[in-house]
Amino acid sequence: MENFGTNAALITAVLMNYFNGIYNGDVPLLQSVFHPQAIIGFDLNGETHFKTVNQYLEGVKNRKSPQELGEEFKMKILSLEIINNTAVAKVQVPIFEYNYYDLLSLIVVDGKWVISNKLATKVN
């Protein structure tokens, strides 16, 4: 694939679409950043939950978005590590009065970076 700088820019674009999809409740945009077989794992208050990407997207579809609730956009990338055609991003997603941290695994599929797994935990 391309060099580190190019890959970092491509991954950043995927992550911004991820943030905007969450913030605006834009399910098609959010769906575009995930691989169809992605698994989402949550550690919420010490309890572990797993969802398929479709279950996750259904939850986003059936809730009010942070944008609709008038929340300020505060999501950000904390770190990014790229090794060949794989990457791990640590991101902060403060929404719904909670402070979530997500660890996102990304991989190149058909020449495009996609999220293959999401691990999320709520810090407060």
User: What is the pLDDT, as a whole number, of residue 2?
Assistant: 59
User: What is the pLDDT, as a whole number, of residue 67?
Assistant: 96
User: What is the pLDDT, as a whole number, of residue 106?
Assistant: 98
Instruction: Starting at the earlier edge strand, list the strands of the sheet with 76-83.
Output: 47-52, 34-44, 112-122, 98-109, 86-95, 76-83
Judge if pTM exceeds 0.75.
Answer: yes
Cα 74 to the center of its chain, rounded Å: 14
- 1 pLDDT more than 80: no
Average pLDDT over residues 12-41: 97
User: In the chain, what percentage of residues exceed pLDDT 90?
Assistant: 91
The string over 10-19, giving b where at least 16 C-beta atoms fall within 10 Å of a residue's C-beta and e elsewhere, is: bbeebbebbb
pLDDT tens sequence across 70-118 = 999 999 999 999 999 999 999 999 999 899 999 999 999 999 999 999 9
Cα 12–Cα 45–Cα 89 angle in degrees, nearest 5: 15
